[in-house]
Amino acid sequence: MAKVAIVYHSGFGHTKVLAEAVARGASSVDGTVVDLISVADAEAKADTINAADAIIFGSPTYMGSVSGPFKTWADTTAKVWFGQGWKDKIAAGFTNSSGPSGDKFSTIAYLWTLAMQHSMIWVSQGVMVGTKQGDVTLNRLSSWGGVMATSENAAPGESNPSKDDQASGFGLGARVATLASKLKG
């Protein structure tokens, strides 16, 4: 039974919609326990995160990287870093912003950098750009290191971020849960 924690920040709710899609994807893998944790609660839920087999990081891209609240939480993980408590856990990441490119690569690269400091194992998105899956298109934005989404400047909802990008998020959650289960043996 693999445990997957998703730790995310969402300023206006769009990244939360994406995080929920990631959580559904992880939950779709039999025997996976999924914890969806806002960074606001993440210090209080440190035991849950520390007990996970995989941690998926999510943040909007603000001014070219993860948001201030996400980074502030990341800094608090220096405590567990000191003892390398997340060593060999699986990691992955996702981000959302309004533009097609919009420095989202910088955010994903930072999430990888954070995971590396924690001696984790990083999982790629694992989907060819523009892969059709029923009605949706996976990896629409040609991202590889993690899932990128775009959202309209409107209220978050079931199509904002787009169903395409939510499906990409679902796929990442499922991919991480599958690998976590396999590594747990």
Footprint of its own copies (CB under 8 A): 62-69, 71-75, 77-78, 81, 84, 87-88, 97-106, 109-110, 112-130, 140-145, 148, 179, 182-183, 185
| C-beta separation of 88 from 129 below 8 A | no
Classify residue 175 by burial, with Cβ atoms within 10 Å: 0-12, 13-18, 19+.
buried
Q: Rounded distance, CA 76 to CA 23, Å? A: 23
Rg (C-alpha) for the chain, rounded Å, is: 15
Q: Which is nearer to its own copies, 146 or 156 (CB)?
A: 146
10, 19 contact by CB (below 8 A): yes
Residue 127 Cβ, how far from its own copies at the closest point, in Å? 7
CB of 30 to its own copies, least distance (A): 18
Residue 124 is classified by DSSP as: P
CB closer to its own copies out of 13 and 68:
68
We find the least distance from the C-beta atom of residue 19 to its own copies, in angstroms, to be 19
8 vs 73, beta carbon nearer its own copies: 73
- Minimum gap (Å) between residue 45 Cβ and its own copies: 18
If you ran DSSP here, which 8-state letter would residue 92 be given? E
